[in-house]
Amino acid sequence: MQPAKPESAAADDRFFARTGPHPLAAVAAAAGGVAGHKTGADRPLLLHGVAPLQSAGPAHVSFLDNRRYVDALTATRAGAVIVHPDLASRVPSGTVAIETADPYAGWARVAELFHPPPPIRPGVHRSAVLAEDAICDASAEIGPLAVIGAGAVVGPRCRIGAGAVIGDAVSMGTDCRVGPLASISHAILGDRVYVYPGARIGQDGFGFATTPQGFVTVPQLGRVLLENDVEVGANSTIDRGSATDTVIGAGSRLDNLVQIGHNVRLGRCCVVVAQAGISGSTVLEDFVVIAAQAGLTGHLRIGRKARIGAQAGVMADVGAGLDVIGSPAQPSREFFRGVVALRKLARPQRRAGSEATGGEPTGEGSS
């Protein structure tokens, strides 16, 4: 008799597909780790789902990546825990340690083992509108009320969500996902690009000339290039280039509510967090991280592996590997030294002569 399906698993079956149970060996292989032995186990361990350390039971697999939660590890009832080898000794005797050098990546793969993405349902919904010369691979899924423009190409196993608009001549590679109500124009997408709901890609950049009579709009004649494995968060916006292209480099991740101006170029595996904005023609080299609500002015170069702190205002180039914060942005050590100095200046000063009177205040009104 199989154990009852665990009620405290991390994913609600109403929203997430579930596979399993999976034997310990399969879970360890998915995590890229090596499983130890469970004390007192008299039969192969079957795992039914994933759960946090605090709520996991004997049928769950959990993980620890942050040493701050070691106490939760030592108290867990999980059947197995994915951990770094350095922490394997802290796993309770009734729990299997799955040792791997990168527990968080291992956890991601195991979570996908139990809860794979929903499968593509090939076909075109009867309410979708496709231009006569649009090309949609037979394996693609086109959702209700989606619009596919003239000359657009939707590649194999792509999914276009309900109400999404794919503009004329837009080209998409394989295994792309476009969320509901997103719109894409003047763009070329690589493989495995994920555009979340409500994102806007390829609209006019913010370009105009100022004359005595008012503003003259400058035609925006570039494109947006989203390279392989890019993700664009919900309600984010990426303007097309004015004369050159706006480029989001392979593997880069944009959070929700991010603004990318025209002609911006991101290198490989950049991260831009929520509500950050990058002005036109700024270049991010590979592996740059922009934290939440940071703002970058135009025509800057941000060096490889630089990190921009939350709410920073960046008005000058940032060298490779530097951490900057504040507005105007400055190296983090200088910023925090300034904070300390200001706090010292802001402390209340003792009145002159207070030490001479044993700390009692002096002057009129004192007894």
At which of 114, 145, 161 does a domain end? 114
**Domain contains 172:** no
**Domain contains 226:** yes
Residue 78 contacts residue 91 (beta carbons within 8 Å):
no
**Domain contains 156:** no
**Domain contains 233:** yes
Indicate which residue of 22, 84, 186, 262 is catalytic: 262
| 109 and 188 part of one domain | no
Residue 262 appears among annotated catalytic residues: yes
Tens-place pLDDT, residues 314-360? 999 999 999 999 999 999 888 888 888 888 888 876 655 555 555 55
**Domain contains 335:** yes
**Domain contains 134:** no
String of b and e for 13-49 (b: at least 16 CB within 10 Å)?
Answer: eeeeeeebbbebeebbbbbbbebbebeeeeeebbbbb
How far is Cα 82 from Cα 105, in angstroms, rounded to an integer? 10
* Phi, psi (rounded to 5 degrees) for 4: -60, 150
Please report which confidence band the pLDDT of residue 3 belongs to, taking 50, 70 and 90 as the band edges.
very low
| 193 and 84 part of one domain | no
Count of domains observed in the chain: 2
Q: What angle do CA 327, 328, 331 make, to 5 degrees?
A: 95
At which of 90, 114, 138 does a domain end? 114
Q: Is 239 helix (H, G, I), strand (E, B) or coil?
A: coil
| 187 and 326 part of one domain | yes
How far is Cα 350 from Cα 334, in angstroms, rounded to an integer? 28
For residue 21, cis peptide bond before it (omega within 30 degrees of 0): yes
Tens-place pLDDT, residues 248-283? 999 999 999 999 999 999 999 999 999 999 999 999
Please report which confidence band the pLDDT of residue 363 belongs to, taking 50, 70 and 90 as the band edges.
very low
Tens-place pLDDT, residues 22-43? 999 999 999 999 998 665 445 5
182 or 355, greater pLDDT: 182
Identify the domain containing residue 192 by its residue range. Answer: 182-342
Paired residues of 214 in beta bridges: 211
**Domain contains 99:** yes
**Domain contains 237:** yes
The CATH code of the domain that includes 98 is 3.40.1390.10
The CATH code of the domain that includes 286 is 2.160.10.10
How far is Cα 155 from Cα 80, in angstroms, rounded to an integer? 40
